Amino acid sequence: MNYLTTKPTRPALINGPSSVCANQTNITYTVTTEPGVTYTWKVPAGASIVSGQGTGTVVINWGASTGVLDVRPTNNCGFTQSRTMTVAVTCRLSDDLSSSVQLMPNPSNGQSILNFSTDPGIYQITISDVLGRTVLSKQSKNEQFPIDLNGQNAGLYLVAIRFEDGQQKVLRMIIE
């Protein structure tokens, strides 16, 4: 008879990509397995386990954000410390996220809205005047970003949008 008499060993590492595209599907992660051990995987919000829960190999559909993948081995004697791996979202599956943004109305009286036609993830907005002075800098993740430059002089402003994957889009905003 073969009885388990010790807790399982903590996996040395999780094998699989540490960077993925937003909403990438069918990504495989594995750990070295032991007989009689169940592996419980946890994924961050927005990600989902397609198959393999309970085993040493799991297939995941990733979400839009960077997050932590966690696996905990368990057997009849108990469990050990889980192994984690940070998975970064470094690209997007769409061709060019920056092409999905519009500034409306433009020209304006200083009040405009940035509209994103797809989920932009986290982005940084920096608005500068033509001399390069920053007049507004904010971070957001909303599909609509209201811009209020009331009190600024009439003229040309540059609206720089930097996405979390490194893409950048610069729009011209005219205040009448």
Work out how many domains the chain is built from and give that number: 2
96: helix, strand or coil: coil
User: Contact at 8 Å (CB) between 8 and 34?
Assistant: yes
Q: Which of 39, 64, 92 is the last residue of a domain?
A: 92
Q: Is the pLDDT of residue 95 over 50?
A: no
Mean pLDDT (whole number) for 76-89: 91
In a domain, 87, yes or no: yes
Considering the chain, what is the average pLDDT of its residues? 88
Range of the structural domain that residue 70 is part of: 19-92
pLDDT digits (tens, 9 = 90+) for 14-36: 999 988 888 889 999 999 999 99
| Shared domain check, 70 and 126 | no
Sorting pLDDT into bands at 50, 70 and 90, what band is 1? very low
Position 4 scores a pLDDT of: 57
Q: Which of 77, 92, 107 is the last residue of a domain?
A: 92
| Shared domain check, 60 and 110 | no
Q: How far apart are CA 127 and CA 117, in angstroms?
A: 21
| Shared domain check, 111 and 154 | yes
| Shared domain check, 105 and 79 | no
| Shared domain check, 28 and 65 | yes
Q: How many residues are given for the chain?
A: 176
Cα 81 from chain centre: 26
| Shared domain check, 125 and 87 | no
| Shared domain check, 114 and 86 | no
Position 118 scores a pLDDT of: 78
| Shared domain check, 118 and 144 | yes
| Shared domain check, 101 and 168 | yes
CATH code for position 164:
2.60.40.3080
Sorting pLDDT into bands at 50, 70 and 90, what band is 93? very low
pLDDT digits (tens, 9 = 90+) for 117-145: 877 788 899 999 888 889 999 999 888 99
User: Contact at 8 Å (CB) between 116 and 146?
Assistant: no
Position 163 scores a pLDDT of: 82
pTM value is 0.53
Sorting pLDDT into bands at 50, 70 and 90, what band is 80? very high
Q: How far apart are CA 64 and CA 22, in angstroms?
A: 4
